[in-house]
Each structure stands twice: as C-alpha cells, then as structure tokens.
Amino acid sequence: MSDCVERFIDELEHVAGKAQRARSEENALELILEILRSHQARTVALAEFSLAQRLERLLRERGYELVKGREIARAEVGISGAELAIAETGSLLIGHDGISELVAALPPVHIALIRSEQICGTLDEAFAFCHKELERAPRDFVFVTGPSRTADIELTPVIGVHGPQELFVIVL
C-alpha cells in the first residue's frame, strides 16, 4: 500500500499537483486551514466527503463564507473527497453527484482529501471500480489529473484556463 501512496504522490507532483500527508483527521483539517490561510481565501465550497460536516463547523467558527449551488462558481477554494486516487497517473476519480465535480472544477483552488486505502495502483483497477459501481446504479465519474491545463493557444501550455490553477491532495 505505501508503494501506491508514494507513486501517487510522485505522479501527482509530476502533473503539477501538490500532495501533503496527514497523520490524523485533525491534522488533515489543520492542513486544509493552512492552505486556506496561505491563499487568503474567504469563500469555500464543500462537497460531501468523510470530514465535510466537521470541516463545515470549523470553517463557520473561523468566519469563512460557505457557498453552495450556483454560488460555487464564486468560491475561492473548493474542497472535496474522491472515490479513488490512481497511483499510475496521479489522478483522482470523483463521483458525479451534481456537486463534487463543480467543487473540483470551478474554484481556482481545489483541495481533495483521500484516505491511503482509497489509492489504487492502475487505471485498470479504477475502471474495474467504475464498472462495479455502475452495476449498482448508473452514474458518471470524473477523472482529475493535476490542475487544469491547455495548450490550445500556439501550443503553449497554460495552467488554470478551464478549471483550478492549483490542486492540493491531502492523503490521510
């Protein structure tokens, strides 16, 4: 398992994402607050994930504005979980629930929390997971690999044109 975690972190950083390890849930919340402070963010969009309720209370106590629905587009930071992380590509697999993919795509900074046991080795394993999930109920998935990038303009790579300029993944 630790090999998958190391490879995921290496591949994520290779595609311009940033990874941090958290020793505990409390440490993960501290790391999130640190990222928010370093970006001087005040508006946050939250998707549903394992620590979302605790984080929401903490953010409200600290005076952050939490935005939902159509307001997600004006959030400075979006925070989500993920279904899986893929070590082979440094990608996140996010379930399409109408909120998570917006939280991951619209704000200029995306923070994702993933538990180490949610990191699989290969894309084939991720596709097998999707197939199994689709047998239970039809739904979509979004793969996120690093910050948004394009090379549409004179083949010059540009970060953040069609989505977040920065992606932080906290591995718990």
Q: Could you tell me the two tokens for 123? A: 């894309």
The band of 158, judged by pLDDT with boundaries at 50, 70 and 90, is: very low
Phi then psi for residue 163, to 5 deg, are: 170, -160
| Three-state SS annotation for the chain | CHHHHHHHHHHHHHCCCEEEECCCHHHHHHHHHHHHHHCCCCEEEECCCCCHHHHHHHHHHCCCEEECHHHHHHCCEEEECCCEEECCCCEEEEEECCCHHHHHHCCCEEEEEECHHHEECCHHHHHHHHHHHHHHCCCEEEEECCCCEECCCCCCCEECCCCCCEEEEEEC
Q: Which amino acid is at 114?
A: I
For the chain, which domains are there?
Answer: 2-171 (3.40.50.10420)
Q: Bigger pLDDT: 151 or 163?
A: 163
Distances (CA, A) of 87 to 8, 13, 123: 4, 11, 8
The band of 57, judged by pLDDT with boundaries at 50, 70 and 90, is: very high
Question: How would you classify the pairing of strands 149-150 and 158-159?
Answer: antiparallel
Q: Is residue 52 scored above 70 in pLDDT?
A: yes
Q: Could you tell me the two tokens for 46? A: 């939250």
Specify the pTM. Answer: 0.89
- Can you tell me the mean pLDDT for 96-104? 86
Q: Is residue 152 scored above 90 in pLDDT?
A: no
Q: Could you tell me the two tokens for 55? A: 């984080």
Q: Which pLDDT score, from 0 to 100, does residue 51 have?
A: 92
Q: Which pLDDT score, from 0 to 100, does residue 43 have?
A: 97
Question: How would you classify the pairing of strands 166-171 and 18-21?
Answer: parallel
Average the pLDDT over each of 76-85, 113-122, 127-136, 142-151 and give the range with the smallest value: 142-151
Q: Is residue 155 scored above 70 in pLDDT?
A: no
Q: Which of 158, 131, 130 is nearest to 143 (CA)?
A: 130
Q: Bigger pLDDT: 2 or 41?
A: 41
